[in-house]
Amino acid sequence: MFNSDLMKRLSDCFGPSGREKRIREMIIDEIKNFADEITIDPLGNLIARKKGTGKKILFSAHMDQIGLIITHVDEKGFLRFANVGGLNAKELLGLRMVFDNGLEGVICQEELKDKEKLTTGKLFLDVASTDKEFIVNNFRVGDMCVFKSEYYETKDCVICKAADDRIGCYVLIEALKNHPKTNNDVYYVFSVQEEVGCRGAKTAGYNINPDLAIAVDVTATGDAPDGIKMDVKLGNGAAIKLMDKSIITHTEVKDLLTDIAEKNNIKYQYEILEFGGTDAGPIHTSRDGVPSGVISIPTRNLHTSGEIFNKFDVEECIKLVIGTTAK
Amino acid sequence: MLKEFLFDICSNQFVSGFEHINGDILIKYFKPYTDSFEKDRLGSYIFKSSGSKNTKIMLAAHIDEIGLMVTGILDGGFLSFITVGGFNPASLIAQDVTIYGKEKIFGVIGIKPPHLTSEEERKKPIKTKELYIDTGYTKEKLEKLITIGDIATINREPLSLQGSVISAKALDDRACVAVMLETAKELKKISHKSNVYFTATAQEETGLRGAKTSSYKIAPDIGIVLDVGFGKTPDMPSDSAQLGKGPIVAYGGRLNTKLTKKFVEICKKYNYPMQYEAIPVRTGTDTDALQISRDGIPCILLSIPLRYMHTSVETIDLKDLEITGKAIARFINELDNSDLEEILCF
Amino acid sequence: MFLNELTKLSGVSGCEFEVRNYIKSKLSEMGCPFYVDKLGNIIAHNKGKKNKTIMVSAHMDEVGLIVTNIDNDGFIKFKAVGGIDQRVLNSKVVVIGENNIPGVIGSKAVHLMTEKERGGSLPIDKLYIDIGTSTKEETEKLVNIGDYAAFKGDYVEFGDNMIKAKALDNRVGCSIILEILKEKLDADFYGVFTVMEEVGLRGAETAAYQLEPDLGIVLEGTVCADMPKVEEHESSTLIGKGAVLSLMDNATVYDINLVRSVAKIAEDNNIAYQYRRSTSGANDAGVIHKAKKGAKVVSISVPCRYIHSSVSVASKNDLMSALKLTKQVIIEKQKGE
């Protein structure tokens, strides 16, 4: 059964890269009765451990979402910003943004001589106030904001912001809650700052030094008219990544995941992504190397305020994570 | 022997991420000249030749080659693919390929005939996603033989050109794995005191990944990185290195100056020819990973001049390999008998 | 005053010998223990009250040029080491190699230029250095492929407490660390002078690996574009408005609580400060915070106009603010949270 309430709370929770405090606290609250040990490392990664004497397995899903950072506040309520994570100017125009304190703004553009040359520097956030004191007291250089958008679901799919990678966090939370009987020493890592370069994963990977690492993140699909050519489709199950720009999945990990999926009747599909990377990137090259792979949740419309995934795929991903833990 | 090794190894695939498949070939050649063998957890091969001192010298040459990965099985028995590592898609046109599925499958990458192609279309640069592998099977038959994620390489028999010049695919960086073999042979003859680790690193073409993990594992005192450099042809800058004139010695921030100068001294002493290059920032080789491994590894970088890099007709002069292999052996000897700390201190 | 002498030295990324030797001699004079690591970083230790491992770092290197080829007429071809806008190279004096051989980078006489050429600049691969020789052989006696060429420029104090010199990025940082080490605070920290920051944050990576700091304080000379016709929101920092605190750049998202706590230290001690309002660029903090198990980092910078050219400009007041703030942060953070 898909836990819509949990996913909605995960999606709505404020947590752009580097400001993951709220989402971390929310997740701790959710999992505190299920983990043997909870630690937070210097970068802010949340590590929930289920102790064991067997192999060390690390699962990683990132808590952070993309957003904007305010670089200039003028007294008229026009804020300048830079992006936090992958976003470009054309995608931002007209969007509604929300700050940690609940205040909102709309992204507008300067007068442009050449409409094609729209850059982030030509945009500004209008926070809808003519009260100078209000503006100066509530908005500071360094504040961050994220998309404002509503969670919505149909019978089989969900539209929400930050499915990347709150749906990965959802998968790990559900897997942890249903942690199987096993000797393995399992680390559920909710990592920070993936969107700005998989930074949390680097230190978590070094610190834990596992025998096997699996990142749980979203991937694109090829089943929409948006021009992306991939074999991955919504509803076709958990995607087992073969390659992206950050990792070529170890053959033995690919075989392991395939084997677990087949033996447990989990629907799966193979995935090759021509662009992008995940936490598995820095983890698999840490120290003298870590055999690694990625379980992906197929998602359309990535890095927008309305990412779309399929609930069945999510269930299959959870089963695959649990299956891996048990092996 | 170098030619035999190269011809053997260049006829087999070692695509980035899949270097574990044909490892036996490497082991066969390196075993007679080394004491032990192990791998890091990414798939790099480390052959160790033990010495009497504690000093550790790591030689690094990457074994992986660029290749193709199947992304889709289409009607008519065509395969769509993407590249693993940096390919110019133009070099894929009109080539034979082998796809490593459940069995080896032959395929062809072709393009529309000139009769049906306008002048304008011919001038447009081609993209990888516009190319397909033609297997000659039906889609149904193909689906039984191939899965998404299978890899493919271009078919190219190694070829002897005039003199000691040869042409093959993936001489980047097999030529340097051959140099390591030459050094291993020499050291067995003249003996050495340092522990030498001949490392065939994995996944260099996709981000120096094996260099990072293998150097972490070995934690050497110095690194000697071997890769290929740009050999002169009519369309290259006039100061490019030439085939047959010896290895290209690199100067720059990523290399240790005193160690490099020591190598140059040895080459002058034994009359080995050399060429030079200055690299301001990134070398684009395993050096970039080795230099900052753990608390740092002082490195030198030697490049074998090579024409037509990243195509299936890479061309080198075997003379350069012999010279470099022997020069490194002499260099290691010299380091054995020097105060390494003195050379490396600032 | 360290800054004056530091800016006269050549230290292009990968060839920091002159700067390193100067700093080593100053540290010896002070009686401050230090060692030089495998990449050439200087790691000095100021012993004192210790609560956590603090690494205060500044890079020794500057952007410059490297010799790539000598042509048949004895002219020297080069490539840029680090980010250099080719426009700042027109009509400049440089010094090459260990012996500081002087050379000039000139430009065709304007009389011979077409309308289109005037005001334009050649790309770096079309430029060359002239040391006054007429043959390849003559030049090769003095200059080798791989030699480094640094800008030559004097240290000048001018205007209202302003400084002009080359390489204020990052001799300002180095001078601040030296000044603080001289004071022998009763607060433990490692003063680290790193190599090759401008070409990929190289030295800091191995230094952080060795020290495993809990807190990194990175000192820098940073971009300041407060000039006519530049909009306020595009200037990043302002001259004279104090020490600069970074919020985010290409390599680091700074912990906002840590940054605000440093701002509070500035306020409590009446030290002028401002925020860096641009997210471009990167510095050693980028690799320090990700080393091994991770560390918290903060960047304190001095605004420099015309950075990465031979005429960088900074305010002595800002330099003072950065120095005072760094000192206070070290003391506060060793008091214990």
pLDDT for A327 equals: 86
Torsion of CA B158, B164, B170, B174, to 10 degrees: 120
pLDDT in tens, C143-176: 999 999 999 989 999 999 999 999 999 999 999 9
Cα(B62)–Cα(B49) distance, rounded to whole angstroms? Answer: 18
Band (A315; pLDDT cuts 50, 70, 90)? very high
Residue C157 lies in a domain: no
Contacts of B204 in chain A (CB under 8 A): none
Cα(A76)–Cα(A63) distance, rounded to whole angstroms? Answer: 34
Contacts of C145 in chain B (CB under 8 A): 251, 276-278
pLDDT for B120 equals: 86
pLDDT in tens, C278-325: 999 999 999 999 999 999 999 999 999 999 988 999 999 999 999 999
pLDDT for A103 equals: 97
In this structure, the answer to whether residues B324 and B238 fall within a common structural domain is yes
CA distance C149 to chain A (A): 34
Contacts of A43 in chain C (CB under 8 A): 289-290, 294
pLDDT in tens, A73-131: 999 999 999 999 999 888 899 999 999 999 999 999 998 877 778 889 899 999 999 99
What letter would DSSP give residue A147?
E
In this structure, the answer to whether residues B294 and B253 fall within a common structural domain is yes
Domain-terminating residue out of C98, C126, C151: C151
In this structure, the answer to whether residues B229 and B113 fall within a common structural domain is no
Task: Find the catalytic residue in A194, A271, A315, A316.
Answer: A194
Tell me the average pLDDT across A177-195: 97
Interacting residues of C316 by C-beta distance below 8 A, sequence separation 6+: C157, C161, C162, C163
The answer to whether A59 and A72 are in contact (CB under 8 A) is: no
pLDDT at B168 over 70: yes
Residue A155 lies in a domain: no
Give the ipTM: 0.90
pLDDT for C145 equals: 95
pLDDT for C107 equals: 82
Band (C336; pLDDT cuts 50, 70, 90)? low
Structural domain that includes position A137? 67-147
Which one of B58, B281, B282, B285 makes the best mutation probe of the C interface by having the most chain C beta carbons within 10 Å? B281
CATH code for the domain in which residue A289 is found:
3.40.630.10
pLDDT in tens, A240-260: 999 999 999 999 999 999 999
Contacts of C209 in chain B (CB under 8 A): 294-296
In this structure, the answer to whether residues C93 and C134 fall within a common structural domain is yes
Tell me the average pLDDT across B28-47: 96
**Predicted model pTM:** 0.93
In this structure, the answer to whether residues B52 and B119 fall within a common structural domain is no
pLDDT in tens, A257-297: 999 999 999 999 999 998 899 999 999 999 999 999 999 99
Residues of chain A with pLDDT > 70, as a percent, come to 100
The answer to whether A214 and A280 are in contact (CB under 8 A) is: yes
pLDDT for C337 equals: 55
pLDDT for A284 equals: 97
Band (B111; pLDDT cuts 50, 70, 90)? confident
- b (16+ CB within 10 A) / e for A248-285: bbbbebbebbeebbeeeebebbbbbbbebbbbbbbbbb
Pairing mode of beta strands B222-230, B56-62 = parallel
pLDDT at C191 over 60: yes
Domain-terminating residue out of A125, A147, A169: A147
pLDDT for C272 equals: 98
Interacting residues of A128 by C-beta distance below 8 A, sequence separation 6+: A77, A104, A105, A106
Q: Do B344 and C205 touch (CB under 8 A)?
A: no
Cα(B180)–Cα(C76) distance, rounded to whole angstroms? Answer: 35
pLDDT for A172 equals: 98
Taking CA–CA distances from C259, the nearest residue in chain A reads: A142
Band (A4; pLDDT cuts 50, 70, 90)? very high
The answer to whether B295 and C209 are in contact (CB under 8 A) is: yes
Question: Quick one: tokens of A116?
Answer: 């094609």
Which one of A84, A141, A208 makes the best mutation probe of the C interface by having the most chain C beta carbons within 10 Å? A141
Cα(B109)–Cα(C88) distance, rounded to whole angstroms? Answer: 49
Cα(B157)–Cα(C1) distance, rounded to whole angstroms? Answer: 68
The answer to whether C105 and C140 are in contact (CB under 8 A) is: no
pLDDT in tens, B204-241: 999 999 999 999 999 999 999 999 999 999 888 888 99
Q: Do C253 and A42 touch (CB under 8 A)?
A: no
Residues of chain C with pLDDT > 70, as a percent, come to 99
**Chain C CB within 8 Å of residue A209 CB:** no
Choose among B20, B71, B212: nearest Cβ to A285.
B212
Asked, as a colleague might, if the bond just before B173 is cis with ω within 30 of 0, I would say: yes
In this structure, the answer to whether residues B61 and B16 fall within a common structural domain is yes
In this structure, the answer to whether residues B90 and B24 fall within a common structural domain is no
In this structure, the answer to whether residues C223 and C238 fall within a common structural domain is yes
Which one of A25, A39, A72 makes the best mutation probe of the C interface by having the most chain C beta carbons within 10 Å? A72
Band (B116; pLDDT cuts 50, 70, 90)? confident
**Chain C CB within 8 Å of residue A207 CB:** yes
Structural domain that includes position C228? 2-62+166-335
Structural domain count, chain C:
2
Lowest mean pLDDT, pick from A283-287, B112-116, B297-301: B112-116
Q: Find chains touching chain B: ≥3 CB pairs under 8 Å.
A: A, C
Choose among B129, B148, B206: nearest Cβ to A248.
B206
In this structure, the answer to whether residues A45 and A89 fall within a common structural domain is no
Tell me the average pLDDT across A21-50: 97
pLDDT in tens, B76-102: 999 999 999 988 899 999 999 999 999
pLDDT in tens, C61-112: 999 999 999 999 999 999 999 999 888 898 899 999 999 999 999 888 888 8
Contacts of C254 in chain A (CB under 8 A): 18
In this structure, the answer to whether residues C50 and C125 fall within a common structural domain is no
In this structure, the answer to whether residues B82 and B227 fall within a common structural domain is no
Cα(C94)–Cα(C92) distance, rounded to whole angstroms? Answer: 7
Tell me the average pLDDT across C26-36: 97
